[in-house]
Amino acid sequence: MKIMVVGGGGREHAVIRKLKENKLVTDIFALPGNGGIAMDATPVAISATDIPAIVDFAVKNGVEYAVVTPDDPLVLGTVDALEGAGIPCFGPRANAAIIEGSKAFSKRLMKKYGIPTADYEIFDNAQKALNYVATAKLPVVVKADGLALGKGVVIANTREEAFEAVRSAMEDKKFGKSGETVVIEEFLTGPEVSVLSFTDGKCVVPMVSSMDHKRALDGDKGLNTGGMGTIAPNPFYTPEVAKECMEKIFKPTVEAMNAEGRPFKGCLYFGLMITPDGPKVIEYNCRFGDPETQVVLPLLESDLFDVMRAVTEGRLAETEVKFSDGAAACVVMCSKGYPLKYEKGFRIDIPEDLIGKVFVAGAKLEDGALVTSGGRVLGVTETADDLETALRLAYEDADRISFENAFMRRDIGQKALEKIRAH
């Protein structure tokens, strides 16, 4: 079968590697893919948001199944367009992808259906938002409504920071249209857990839990990034928490989307905080997380392509989705300076025996050699019986991969290890 994956980061590389395990899959096209993905799929120079070109390519090349993984193509309706051309897809339609595309939508959904989340107010008038933060309890969280490349959230510790966050989103239009509406919400505390799930709109099957490390520097210091490393499973996600999440969050969310006439099919990502009052939703994503996917899929023992097609065809309840009992760790290697300014174009050396453990995010091929082309360059994932071993192996691997100006956090998984040891 000829299949296509829309996207071109480390997450897509992990998805592609897993899809390749299915014997029916003969060809995988990656739109646009990247220099590292080229080892596992055929890159096609079409942007992930150029919907007419994506559909045209799929039709002309006899693509039989499409997997759409990044947020913006999903929110823009890539799945709707491909399905319109008769191509079955993994991923939600635009009317369901709005669960990530608009924070105002998702907050209203949670309030209406009693799904636990931080208290909030929504504003489309800057003066009213400023008046509100003038007396709000600090810290206060200011969020741009729409997609903002993960940069639309400000945790304001002072009144001045809160005013600045509102002004830059609503008056200076720092995030364009995405910030014309803002959600201002209560600051929650507690460990964060990412739970990706498969859902066909009828049942919801959580994948192994994971933990991202979003800040650029050790000790959770520095700027927010796309993610500097992940571990799975997340030790804060105990069986009791999992049960509570299933009853109070996962099932109610899938049912709420159905009740709204927006059935969600694909990977629904729950960004959770385990607060002193129980688990609450920090955010929904309409897709696999990056770099959560790089630890979750290597632990999936079932066939990903089979599971994806079961989701598409509404057969998830009859399909086995099994994860290993082991642990996984992914360490992300970046270009020094990320998430701000960084240099690129440096040659990447990956020892032959590590190729299968590396998921490439920001690299391209130049005269046959892999060179850096992005802030997050690659992630290296190891699986083992326990987290400590997986982490040690992942760092040993990362230390054998080199490119100029390489940078990584040295404390991925430490909080999780402390939690495990405290048990």
- Sites for ligand AMP among residues 377-406 (CB under 6 A): none
**Burial degree of 361 (CB within 10 A; 0-12, 13-18, 19+):** buried
**Burial degree of 219 (CB within 10 A; 0-12, 13-18, 19+):** exposed
What the block records as the tokens of 279 is 């688990």
Per CB under 6 A, the list member of 12, 185, 290, 303 interacting with ligand GLY is 290
CA angle 304, 234, 272 (to 5 degrees): 90
Contact pattern for ligand GLY over residues 155 through 184, marking x by CB under 6 A: ------------------------------
Distances (CA, A) of 43 to 26, 28, 29, 32, 50: 15, 9, 6, 6, 15
Contact pattern for ligand AMP over residues 137 through 176, marking x by CB under 6 A: ----x-x---------x-x---------------------
Residue nearer to ligand AMP on the CB measure, 163 or 187: 187
Does residue number 72 form part of the binding site for ligand AMP (CB under 6 A)?
no
Nearest position to ligand GLY, beta carbon: 289
Q: What is the DSSP string of 281-314?
A: EEEEESS--TTTHHHHGGGB-S-HHHHHHHHHHT
Per CB under 6 A, the list member of 106, 253, 285, 372 interacting with ligand GLY is 285
137: DSSP letter: P
188 interface partner picked from ligand AMP, ligand GLY, none, CB below 5 to 8 A per type: ligand AMP
Does residue number 271 form part of the binding site for ligand AMP (CB under 6 A)?
yes
Question: How many residues bind to ligand AMP according to rule CB under 6 A?
Answer: 14
What the block records as the tokens of 310 is 């079961």
Among candidate residues 126, 137, 5, the one with its CA nearest the CA of residue 63: 5
Does residue number 185 form part of the binding site for ligand AMP (CB under 6 A)?
yes
Q: How far apart are CA 329 and CA 311, in angstroms?
A: 27
CA angle 263, 150, 237 (to 5 degrees): 65
Q: How far apart are CA 53 and CA 148, in angstroms?
A: 24
Stretch of 17-25, 175-183, 282-290, 310-318 contacting ligand GLY, by CB under 6 A: 282-290
Q: Are 385 and 299 in contact, with CB atoms under 8 Å apart?
A: no
Q: How far apart are CA 328 and CA 210, in angstroms?
A: 9
Q: How far apart are CA 398 and CA 379, in angstroms?
A: 8
Does residue number 12 form part of the binding site for ligand GLY (CB under 6 A)?
no
Q: How far is the CB of 148 from ligand AMP (least distance, A)?
A: 8
On the question of a cis peptide bond just before residue 339, with omega within 30 degrees of 0, the verdict is yes
Stretch of 81-89, 181-189, 288-296, 302-310 contacting ligand GLY, by CB under 6 A: 288-296
Stretch of 23-31, 185-193, 294-302, 384-392 contacting ligand AMP, by CB under 6 A: 185-193
Q: How far apart are CA 252 and CA 109, in angstroms?
A: 10
Does residue number 122 form part of the binding site for ligand AMP (CB under 6 A)?
no
Contact pattern for ligand AMP over residues 191 through 220, marking x by CB under 6 A: -x---------------------x------
Per CB under 6 A, the list member of 12, 200, 260, 292 interacting with ligand GLY is 292
Contact pattern for ligand GLY over residues 188 through 227, marking x by CB under 6 A: ------------------------x--------------x
Does residue number 289 form part of the binding site for ligand GLY (CB under 6 A)?
yes
Interface contacts to ligand AMP, rule CB under 6 A: 118, 141, 143, 153, 155, 185-188, 192, 214, 271, 282-283
Interface contacts to ligand GLY, rule CB under 6 A: 212, 227, 285, 289-290, 292
